[in-house]
Amino acid sequence: MRHMAAAAAVVVAMSGQGAATDQYLPPRLVEGPAPAPPGQQIVGGGEVLLDLTVGTDGQVSDLGRIRVTPPYTDLVAEAVGSWRFSPAEVPTKEKRRRRAESHVLVAAVYRPPAGFNGTTLGEPPKDVARPPASLPVPRELIAPPYPPTGRGDGTVVLEVEVGPDGNPAGIRVVHSAGGFDSAAIQAAQAWSFAPARLDDRAVPAYAYVVMGFREPIVAGRGR
């Protein structure tokens, strides 16, 4: 049987941040499930980019596809479509803020299992739309390796602060998976983004990164 180690990363990024009444407050994840790890019947890798529309009630009202790879697109969309956010707030002329509809980027990357002679199976990713400038977009989708100390399957959710330079400025574990946390954090530290832009200037952003791991299947060894 082929040696397998699958990892998924989901990024949810929100343009801008700040606490003053004259600054934009991006939507922030309140609750929601992580995408389930892929089943063993999925033998290829893939990348997915989704554009979530978040309404003033904090619910996802629409889900646009930017980059797709079957069957991962549906796997990710099923989970993130139920996410709930604190809605975005924009400044007003009266030095107050009001709730506003906003967009959230979800980026997922699945490491393809290595096949014999270095080959892999599955469909290649396909870009079907361009993301808006208000969303930070990963320059490269880097998946973590399965850690040597890992046991079984696991999913880690991270909150990543993306600076105006596009680099992670801080990472916090939102949902822990024990021995997988360190590998997930190290992979997120290597991510770099084309930063979010607001009023034609680069702004900080929050990114929610969900990384899922599947235990490798080694020939001659049961799970």
Interval 49-93: pLDDT, tens? 888 888 999 999 999 999 998 888 898 899 999 999 988 887 888
Q: Is 223 domain-assigned? A: no
Model confidence band, residue 14 (pLDDT cutoffs 50, 70, 90): low
Q: Is 220 domain-assigned? A: no
Q: Is 116 domain-assigned? A: yes
Q: Is 221 domain-assigned? A: no
Domain containing residue 113: 6-214
pTM of the model: 0.81
Q: Is 84 domain-assigned? A: yes
* Alpha-carbon separation of residue 81 from 35, 37, 172 (angstroms): 10, 16, 23
State which amino acid sits at residue 76: V
- Long-range contacts: 215-220, Cβ < 8 Å, 24+? 215/5, 215/146, 215/150, 215/151, 215/152, 215/153, 216/3, 216/4, 216/5, 216/146, 217/1, 217/2, 217/3, 217/4, 217/40, 218/1, 218/3, 219/1, 219/2, 219/3
Q: Is 152 domain-assigned? A: yes
Question: Which tops the pLDDT comparison, 138 or 17?
Answer: 138
Q: How many domains does the chain have?
A: 1
Tens digits of residue pLDDT in 165-220: 989 888 888 888 888 899 989 999 999 988 888 788 787 778 888 787 777 766 54
* Mean per-residue pLDDT of the chain: 79
Give the CATH number for residue 30: 3.30.2420.10
Q: Is 193 domain-assigned? A: yes
* Range with top average pLDDT, 3-7, 105-109, 110-114: 105-109
Query: What integer pLDDT is reported at residue 156 of this predicted model?
Result: 80
Q: Is 219 domain-assigned? A: no
